[in-house]
Amino acid sequence: MDIIISNSSGVPIYEQIEEQIKSQIMTGELKAGDDLPSMRALAKDLKISVITTKRAYEDLERDGYIESVIGKGSFVKGVNNEIMKEKMLFAVEECLEKAVDKAVLGKVTLEEMQEMLTIIYGEKSK
């Protein structure tokens, strides 16, 4: 499991971990039943606090992506990709709504918004 942390992104480290694990589950890179590194091992590998990895794992468990078994570890939960995709679409919609609110205030046109979105999506999906 590869996780890359960016200290300059402005996104909290625990959220970066969550998003990357969610992405790996959604793409099938991580499958139901796969074991995740222990919180301590992940923290050591990433050179971060165990508290940070604990927060990420707790959030992933709360959202239904993983399950933790005391004494055994944390595992990828069998997830329904359609339901997970719907959750992601809802989150994207919320973010886009905020972006559109700012665009309207700044008198940014729909065409300018579409161009920005196309550029950003192209950069991120590489």
* Predicted confidence (pLDDT) at residue 74 exceeds the cutoff of 80: yes
Rounded to whole angstroms, the Cα distance separating 61 from 21 reads 11
Which residue is listed with tokens 């944390």? 74
Q: What is the value of pTM for the model shown?
A: 0.69
Residues 102-125 have pLDDT tens digits of 999 999 999 999 999 999 999 988
Q: What angle do CA 22, 75, 63 make, to 5 degrees?
A: 45
Rounded to whole angstroms, the Cα distance separating 72 from 21 reads 19
For the residues 23-28, what does the mean pLDDT come to? Answer: 86
Q: Are 66 and 74 in contact (CB under 8 A)?
A: yes
Q: What is the pLDDT of residue 36?
A: 96
Which residue is listed with tokens 């709504």? 97
User: Under CATH, what is the fold of the domain 13-76?
Assistant: Arc Repressor Mutant, subunit A (1.10.10)
Q: What is the pLDDT of residue 49?
A: 96
Structure tokens at 101: 């609110």
